[in-house]
Structure 1
Amino acid sequence: MARADFYLIDKPRFRQQPLLLVCELARKAYATGQPTLILARDRAQAEALDDLLWAFDPDDYLPHQIAGQDEDDEDTPILIAPPEIDVPLRPLLINLRDQAPQGAFERVLEVVPADPAARGPLRERWRHYQRLGLTLNKYDM
């Protein structure tokens, strides 16, 4: 059964830098051996995530790259995909785009902004996943 997990930004460090939560989620997935696809909103966000993942944990290298820069995309545990690059979905997705991913996956992680005014698209995606019959979970971060 596929599922969608919504992570509500709450802690000050995530409020200041929401992409840190994305790094945290990617690290947890990597620790469990799950190849992860991060669907970035745009090229600038993909590059910011790339930089953050390099510096995120000085003691723990998180193997990652932006899709399309190398032939070994499918071997990279954490792949960051800007919208202009078409990559196959993976069982685990972190979705940072305004629209829900189309296609087959087992689990999608959605990061919910701290600002209630910015949560509209997330509510729509919650209803979309509900209609698809996914198991829905919500976590305060």
Structure 2
Amino acid sequence: MTGMATFYILDESQDEPTQQMLEKVSQLSALFCQQGMKTFIMAEDKNQAEAIDELLFQQTAEHFVPHNLVGEGPRGGAQVEIGWPGVRHAGHRQVLINLAQEAATFAPSFAQVVDFVPCEEAPKQQARERYKIYRMAGRQMRTLAIEEMSY
């Protein structure tokens, strides 16, 4: 089996859909961490990666997620590693959370891919292209509203 790809559709009625997406990334990171899965978060850019890093540091002690930016932290990276286009993740990871516009060329090495469908038309079209790429790669596809919790 080539794995699963889950797309979360952002809620247009939210004032801050990007913030909603980052909170979902934080929740999923914690969930995958509890399941013992190593996760790579591919941010849109270095600024977003640093914002996610900060968001994960703000979690309460019982929801803390061991994480680091690419190039920092322990050898092989922490449970959750955060990167951006142009940097390479450390070691084998089971889950890719993709926030970048392009489909990650290295996505086939992950058992699970999580992606997001933005509200704006141009990024939404890019999400459709990523969906097609993952589907053509033989992944089992599913689409959920951002409020839905899976896993």
Q: What is the TM-score normalised by the length of structure 2?
A: 0.82
Size of the alignment, in residue pairs? 140
* Alpha carbons of structure 1 residues 114 and 137: separation in structure 2 relative to 1, 3 Å: same
Measure, in 2, the Cα distance between the counterparts of 1:43 and 1:7.
22
Measure, in 2, the Cα distance between the counterparts of 1:59 and 1:12.
27
1:100 to partner: Cα distance:
1.4
Measure, in 1, the Cα distance between the counterparts of 2:142 and 2:77.
29
Residue in 2 aligned with 1:41? 44
Query: Equivalent residues in 2 for 1:44-123 (5 A)?
Result: 44-57=47-60, 59-70=62-73, 72-87=74-89, 88=91, 90-103=93-106, 104-123=109-128
Residue in 2 aligned with 1:7? 8
Measure, in 1, the Cα distance between the counterparts of 2:129 and 2:92.
21
Contact 2:6 2:142 (8 Å CA) reproduced: yes
1:13 to partner: Cα distance:
7.3
Query: What is the percentage of aligned positions where both structures have the same residue?
Result: 30
Following TM superposition, the consecutive aligned residue runs of length 4 or more in structure 1 with deviations greater than 6 angstroms are none
Measure, in 2, the Cα distance between the counterparts of 1:113 and 1:125.
12
1:8 to partner: Cα distance:
1.1
Deviations 1:17-76 (A, max 9, x none): 131111111111112111100011111011000001111345421111101023x15241
User: What root-mean-square deviation, in Å, do the aligned CA atoms of Structure 1 and Structure 2 show?
Assistant: 2.0
Q: What is the TM-score normalised by the length of structure 1?
A: 0.87
Q: Which amino acid aligns with 1:76?
A: A
